Amino acid sequence: MGVKVQDSKIYLPKLGWMGFFNSRLIPDGFTIKAATIRKRQDGWYVSIRIEDKSIPDYLSKPLNEVDSILGCDLGITKLVHLSDRHQIDNPKFSTNKKSLRTLKIRQRRVSRKIKGSKNRKKAARKLGRFHKKITDKRVAYQWDIANKIVSRKVDAIALEDLNIRTMLKRCRVKTDESTGRFLKNGQSRKKGLNRAISDASWGELILKIEYLAAKLGKVVIKINPRHSSQECRKCGHIDKSNRDGEKFICTECGHHEHADIGAAKTIRDRAFKIVRGDSPELAAVSS
C-alpha cells in the first residue's frame, strides 16, 4: 500500500495514518508517486511528488529560433546584474549586521550551557530555528527574483557557468622554505568572501531560474564567465586593471561603463554567438 492523503491525514508505509497540516491540496487528476520526510528545526515535513501523464512535457524554443537573450551576472554587492541595466539587490540574509549579531549571541548562549543539559538543547533549538528563518527568507526571495527574471520578454536567459565548489575552496598553505613556518596565504580575508558567496546561494538561484524557464518554454544558456568583467566591449582588450570595483575604464581605448552591467552584456553577447554558431566554445543549454 502506497502513500495516501485524506483531508488532514496522510498514510505512510510502515508508519500508518497520521495527522498533518495539508498546506497545498493535490489537484484533480494527479496521482501520488512518492513522499519524502524531512526533519527540520521546527518539526517534521513531508514532500509529496505527484504526476499527471495527460499533461504534455514543457518544450523549449529551438536555439535557431532564439531572437532575444537576457544576460545575467551574479554578484555580492548586488545579487544579479542584468544586461537591460536592471540591478537586483542582495539582502544578505545571514551576513547583514543584525543577523550576524543575533547569530553571535545565540551561538554564545549554546556554548555557555553545560554539554548534554536540557538548557543547552533548548538554546540549540532556538539557534536552529533562527537559521531556518534565514533559509526560508532566502528561498522566498530567490523564487521572487527568479520569477522577475524569467517573466521578461526574452526567448533565452544567459547565465554564468560557475564552479561554486571551487570558488569556496581554501587557499593553498604557504610555508617558509628555510624555517618551515606558515606564511600568510589570504585565507582569513577569503573567509569573509566565502561566507558572502554561501549567503548569496547562487547555485540555488540558478536552479530556480532553470525550473521556471522550462515551464515557460524558455532556453537557459550557461556561458563561461572567464574575463567577462575585464573585457572591453568596445575594443575587446582584456586587462585586470580595466576594472576598479564597480567602475570599468579600458586602459586601451578609454571606454567606461558599470563593470557588472558590462559583464552581463558580455555574457549576453557570448550567448548570441553560440546561438548563431559563431563561437567555438561549448555551452550548456537547458531546455
CA distance 41 to 44: 8
Task: Enumerate the active-site residues.
Answer: 73, 160, 260
For residue 120, the Cα-to-chain-centroid distance in whole angstroms is: 33
Length reported for the chain: 287
C-alpha torsion 249→251→253→255, nearest 10: 0
d(CA 70, CA 153): 9
Q: Are 106 and 96 in contact (CB under 8 A)?
A: no
224 SS3 class: coil
Residue 118 to residue 120: CA distance in whole angstroms: 5
Torsion of CA 107, 109, 115, 121, to 10 degrees: -80
